[in-house]
Structure 1
Amino acid sequence: MLKKFLSISMALVLGSVVLAGCGKQSESEEIKLGAVFPLTGDVSVMGQACKNALQMLEEETNASGGINGKKVKFYFEDDENKPSNSANAIQKLINNNKVVGVVGSYASKCSISMGPIAASNKIPMISVSTSPKVTKNGGEYVFTSTFNDTFQGTIIADIAAKDVKAKTAAVLYDVGNDYDKGLNEFFTTNFEKSGGKVLASLTFNAGDQDFSAQLTNIKKLNPDVLVIPDYYGTVALIAKQARNLGITSTFIGGDGWDSPALFEIAGDAVNGSYFSNFFSTGDTTPAYVKFKENYEKKYNKAPDAISASSYNAGSLLIAAVKEAKSTEGDKIKDALKNISFEGVAGTTKYDSNRNAIMGGDVIKIENQKQIFVRKVSQ
């Protein structure tokens, strides 16, 4: 009887080991990737666009065989466009979900808070933000999927000088936002190099709704251009208030303008404005056209530039995992450093600071529509 009992016990133990082994094997068949974006909050339109793009990428990747035969799964966390939330979100993805790479976030301030955490855990991270501080502060595991604001500032200055033929400018920006501060600095430097003069750089605080005091001062200066380096919601409020005060300056901004919500809030106030971007909806490259067609089919709306950038970031991460033939962070990181990837942004390579080398587009707004003007090479 004892012998029979021991035999049954041993069989149960072996069975449980086999089942446990099967569970582990099944789990290993899924390559886990993380994504942190503002899915709620003041720029949730952009965060949802990023999520849409990555969910579509996940489906396409798995339909074509996954990553080296294994399915890929993106796990999403919401940072509400708050740096403290971004830090918590990436820690959750790393510690709880055991992701091997991360995409995000949208805002530079949030990506900056995430970078050191990714690096300390040796988890490669690809941001869609544009501040050079993202890679500088983050360390060797942190990359971007777009141009950075050092280059974007030159584009905005180029727009002012060449497209508007401006001689004078004013800037109105959020003093607590790294994205805004960087664009103010790099625009000012490059515009003055071209012979222009910045008459004033005025500031506001995040969450402000009334800009009448700053705009009244700007009206007195009557600059040829007013640079508003912020996100679509704030830009729309400033533009409407500026026009209501009688300011006739041409408005110029950066990639944060790129959202249909800009027109919903600002209406005709932004007609005649320009902004820089890393993609144009009028792009005719085959990879972008295919992405656009698939996105429209899936979501019944056209993609904006940030969704394309998110898709590009996710594609870069997946390509690096494939190239590394490993889920080890150091091997994925090394694959990214040396990658030459053909995607929706054309060929993406990285400079020595892990910033993507890519050109930019000049966009003009006419009748509440984006019109592609020209490309600017880096």
Structure 2
Amino acid sequence: MKKLKLSVALILVFALLAAFTAGCAKQASDSNNQNTPAPTQQSPAESKNPQEEGGVIKIGIIAPMTGTNKLVGEYTMNGAKMAQEEINAAGGILGHKIEFVIGDEVDNMQDSVNATTKLLSDDSITAIIGSLYSQYCIAVMPSVADAKIPYFASGSSSGVSKQNNPYTWQVRPIDTFQGVTLASFAVNKLNMKNPAIMYSTQSTFASLSEQVQIALKDLGIEITEKNLFGFPEEEINYDPYFQQILAGGYDGIIALSNQMPAALICQQAEIAGVNPDKIPLLGSTSFCSNVCITNAGSAADGWYSVADWVPGGANERGAEFEKAYVAKYNAPSDLPAATYYDALYVIKEAAEKAGSIDREALNNGLKQVKAFPGAISTFSYFEDHVFATALGITQNISGKPQAIDAVTFREP
């Protein structure tokens, strides 16, 4: 009965996410309001030529600052502000202090497109770090190409790289690599031969599901419609899916979703009697996120995850980032923070390679990035414009994700 009450409570939380997000990462709010200019605020430094020594370099940031995804926006700005403060304290980018111009994408594609379009029309902006949601990034890519401005798509869909946009870049591992790693770990480590694949039908996770299926087939595991359990992103009742899975004789579950659905999936799997000691549970990166674990509680324990960001860091640079993040915000980091933090440092590296903060020069400088250490991964230029070279594998134990392996899917 207690578990059922917890599940009902979590469903209410999911439906009213905006009500709790203000307290989850509150430490970011005051810092952002004090130190980050609002999107319409004009700084005296803006009158300077951005190429002048001692001027500013303006970076556009797209994030959900309001709405149901506000927590994502707070993590985003926490990571971005950390990189901004560190870089500015060390002299900036070629002597230019970073200044943000923020676009609020709220919680929907239209607002995201509108916010990005506004930043693309601002000739003083050198580069833009775009949405964490791939479908929002894909929607603006024609405009990015027209504006000829370096644009970091913060999503992980291979649909972004398939556009072959010369001005669009990604720091996260894309689903092509995630799919191969998920399938390999499921078969070779968890001994899955007949897995149930639960996935959000949102385009990002539908694409990831396809990549997992392709990789499983390459490993000799044939997936049919009977193995697939797609659900709408707004789903809050997963019990029917679990009842079908338990009755179907599947030997493992691979679950692919965003963070709040992941929390619900973990908790409702436990209530349905899905025991991770008897049937292995493997999730996408959301299942080791702080948002998932905090809201699912002990129900998240036992879940494995193939993660582009391993909380606590899967490498030396990642561990340094996490230590600094916790010291600054008194809370663990999450994927959005690491993604925007790394993107800013890659921009800095590219500008220094190019010797300029001119848009075109910067875009060419990104092609010179080689074996650059980031929090998420070691980054290098590849023709697909995806810099990441590694993924982590975790298992949630006693309320914390523990890194158990790292997979380098291409040499930096």
Q: TM-score, normalised by structure 1?
A: 0.87
1:226 aligns with 2:253: yes
Q: Which residue of 2 aligns with 1:180?
A: 205
Query: What is the CA deviation profile of residues 172-205 of structure 1, one whole-angstrom value per residue up to 9, with x for unaligned ones?
Result: 2222x12211211111121232233434212222
Q: Which residue of 2 aligns with 1:242?
A: 269
Instruction: Classify 1:244/1:363 alpha carbon distance in 2 versus 1 (closer, same or farther; 3 Å).
Output: same
Q: What is the letter of the counterpart of residue 203 of structure 2?
A: D
CA distance, structure 1, for counterparts of residue 63 and residue 406 of structure 2: 28
1:343 aligns with 2:374: yes
Q: How far did residue 133 of structure 1 move?
A: 1.0
Query: What is the CA deviation profile of residues 115-147 of structure 1, one whole-angstrom value per residue up to 9, with x for unaligned ones?
Result: 222221001011221101112226110000011
Secondary structure in 1 aligned to 2:227?
Answer: strand
Matching of residues 188-267 of structure 1 within 5 Å: 188-198=213-223, 199-248=226-275, 249-267=279-297
1:78 aligns with 2:104: yes
Q: How far did residue 97 of structure 1 move?
A: 7.4
Q: How far did residue 329 of structure 1 move?
A: 2.2
Matching of residues 52-67 of structure 1 within 5 Å: 52-67=78-93
Query: What is the CA deviation profile of residues 266-317 of structure 1, one whole-angstrom value per residue up to 9, with x for unaligned ones?
Result: 2222221111112323446443333222222211122234322221111111
Query: What is the CA deviation profile of residues 67-97 of structure 1, one whole-angstrom value per residue up to 9, with x for unaligned ones?
Result: 2112111222221342222211111222247
Q: Which residue of 1 aligns with 2:48?
A: 25
Whether the aligned pair in 1 keeps the contact of 2:378 and 2:390 (CA below 8 Å) is: no
Q: What is the letter of the counterpart of residue 68 of structure 1?
A: L
Query: What is the CA deviation profile of residues 11-53 of structure 1, one whole-angstrom value per residue up to 9, with x for unaligned ones?
Result: xxxxxxxxxx997337761111011122334443333212111
CA distance, structure 2, for counterparts of residue 41 and residue 163 of structure 1: 40
Whether the aligned pair in 2 keeps the contact of 1:116 and 1:137 (CA below 8 Å) is: no
Query: What is the CA deviation profile of residues 339-368 of structure 1, one whole-angstrom value per residue up to 9, with x for unaligned ones?
Result: 123333453112111112411110111122
Whether the aligned pair in 1 keeps the contact of 2:314 and 2:406 (CA below 8 Å) is: no
Instruction: Classify 1:284/1:82 alpha carbon distance in 2 versus 1 (closer, same or farther; 3 Å).
Output: closer
Of 372, 383, 400, the residue aligned with 1:352 is 383
Whether the aligned pair in 2 keeps the contact of 1:345 and 1:358 (CA below 8 Å) is: no
Instruction: Classify 1:194/1:41 alpha carbon distance in 2 versus 1 (closer, same or farther; 3 Å).
Output: farther
Whether the aligned pair in 2 keeps the contact of 1:169 and 1:225 (CA below 8 Å) is: yes
Q: What is the letter of the counterpart of residue 25 of structure 1?
A: K
Whether the aligned pair in 2 keeps the contact of 1:363 and 1:370 (CA below 8 Å) is: yes
Q: How far did residue 156 of structure 1 move?
A: 1.0
CA distance, structure 1, for counterparts of residue 330 and residue 45 of structure 2: 40
How many aligned residue pairs are there? 357
Which segment drifts farther, 219-228 or 240-249?
Answer: 240-249
Instruction: Classify 1:40/1:230 alpha carbon distance in 2 versus 1 (closer, same or farther; 3 Å).
Output: farther
Q: What is the letter of the counterpart of residue 363 of structure 1?
A: T
CA distance, structure 2, for counterparts of residue 239 and residue 285 of structure 1: 27
1:299 aligns with 2:324: no
Of 338, 342, 351, the residue aligned with 1:312 is 342
Q: Which residue of 1 aligns with 2:17?
A: none
Secondary structure in 2 aligned to 1:73?
Answer: strand
Of 310, 314, 326, the residue aligned with 1:280 is 310
Alpha-carbon RMSD across the aligned residues, in angstroms, is 2.3
Whether the aligned pair in 2 keeps the contact of 1:119 and 1:138 (CA below 8 Å) is: no
CA distance, structure 1, for counterparts of residue 290 and residue 122 of structure 2: 35
CA distance, structure 2, for counterparts of residue 305 and residue 23 of structure 1: 31
1:152 aligns with 2:182: no
CA distance, structure 2, for counterparts of residue 352 and residue 22 of structure 1: 36
Q: Which residue of 2 aligns with 1:365?
A: 396
Instruction: Classify 1:245/1:344 alpha carbon distance in 2 versus 1 (closer, same or farther; 3 Å).
Output: closer
CA distance, structure 1, for counterparts of residue 46 and residue 397 of structure 2: 57
Which structure's residues are more often strand, by fraction?
Answer: 1
Instruction: Classify 1:66/1:316 alpha carbon distance in 2 versus 1 (closer, same or farther; 3 Å).
Output: same
Structure number with larger C-alpha Rg: 1
Whether the aligned pair in 2 keeps the contact of 1:115 and 1:135 (CA below 8 Å) is: no
CA distance, structure 2, for counterparts of residue 197 and residue 247 of structure 1: 23
Instruction: Classify 1:181/1:22 alpha carbon distance in 2 versus 1 (closer, same or farther; 3 Å).
Output: closer
